[in-house]
């Protein structure tokens, strides 16, 4: 702003400049950022996830994957039931099944669900050593189940039941074989977690990784309960 005053002998000119008032805007922006940071810390402290569902995207993806696996095994089980008892040649289920042996093998697999729960509980408490122990125990029980399944398949083969012998052999080996592959994949996942943990890459803050692996492992166990009931127990 400029003002001019005239006098008898000269003129005095005064110039005044208004400084922009940006201090308030800067303070307001800083407050907004602090509020955002505080909300982020609140999410971290309470273990929540800033998503629309309140669940991490990884967990949503795992549930979606397990849903698709339900469709796969549902189709395989339905196929087995559809062709059950329609074999016209070769040995049938009553000729080769060993229910007591398969029951023990199934119990071993179901016990692995307990050790998986203990592994998740350990890492959530920050007990990394016990988490590793229970992960190895779960993988060992799963490997024992696979070994039992290989032995059973070998006995069936010696009895004349193969993938191409009859309808029973085809549907049985496809269904139980697919499940065995899923158990083997779960064992690899468990061993991978153990290896990552040994390198220090699996702290308490990453317990959700163990939880996701546990979801997959429990799914495999539940599917086997259904398969065991449908194939071995229902005449």
Which tens digits make up the pLDDT trace of 211-232?
Answer: 999 999 999 999 999 999 999 9
At 143, list the tokens. Answer: 């490997």
Percent of the chain with pLDDT over 70: 78
The three-class DSSP label of residue 82 is helix
Nearest-angstrom CA–CA distance, 151 and 157: 10
What is the C-alpha separation between 16 and 4, in angstroms, rounded? 12
Contacts for 11 with CB less than 8 Å, ≥ 6 apart: 4, 5
The closest alpha carbon to 131, from 83, 223, 193, belongs to 193
pLDDT at 44 over 80: no
With contact defined as beta carbons under 8 Å apart, do 146 and 180 qualify?
yes
Highest averaged pLDDT of the listed ranges 9-13, 26-30, 175-179? 175-179
CATH number belonging to domain 96-233:
1.20.120.80
The answer to whether residue 45 scores a pLDDT higher than 50 is no
Q: What is the rounded distance in angstroms from the CA atom of residue 235 to the CA atom of residue 230?
A: 9
Let me know if 46 is exposed, middle or buried by CB neighbors in 10 A (0-12, 13-18, 19+): exposed
Q: pLDDT for 77-135, tens place per residue?
A: 999 999 988 887 878 888 899 999 999 999 999 999 999 999 999 999 999 999 999 99
Q: What is the pTM of this model?
A: 0.77
SS3 11: strand
In the chain, what are the domain boundaries?
A: 96-233
Share of the chain above pLDDT 90, in %: 64
pLDDT of 64 higher than 90: yes
Q: Would you say residue 146 has pLDDT above 80?
A: yes
State residue 4 phi and psi, 5-degree precision: -125, 130
């Amino acid at each position: 702003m400029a003002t001019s005053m005239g006098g008898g002998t000269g003129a005095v000119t005064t110039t005044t400049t208004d400084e922009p008032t940006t201090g308030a805007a800067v303070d307001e922006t800083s407050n907004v950022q602090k509020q955002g940071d505080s909300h982020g810390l609140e999410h971290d402290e309470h273990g929540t996830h800033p998503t629309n569902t309140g669940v991490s995207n990884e967990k949503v993806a795992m549930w979606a994957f397990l849903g698709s696996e339900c469709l796969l095994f549902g189709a395989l089980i339905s196929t087995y039931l559809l062709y059950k008892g329609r074999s016209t040649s070769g040995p049938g289920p009553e000729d080769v099944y060993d229910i007591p042996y398969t029951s023990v093998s199934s119990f071993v697999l179901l016990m692995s669900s307990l050790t998986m729960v203990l592994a998740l509980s350990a890492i959530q408490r920050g007990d990394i050593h016990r988490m590793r122990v229970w992960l190895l125990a779960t993988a060992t029980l799963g490997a024992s189940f696979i070994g039992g399944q290989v032995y059973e398949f070998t006995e069936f083969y010696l009895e004349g039941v193969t993938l191409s012998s009859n309808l029973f052999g085809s549907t049985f080996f496809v269904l139980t074989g697919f499940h065995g592959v899923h158990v083997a994949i779960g064992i690899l996942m468990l061993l991978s977690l153990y290896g990552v943990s040994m390198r220090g890459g699996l702290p308490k803050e990453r317990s959700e990784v163990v939880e996701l692996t546990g979801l997959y492992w429990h799914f495999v166990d539940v599917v086997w309960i259904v398969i065991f009931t449908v194939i071995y127990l229902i005449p």
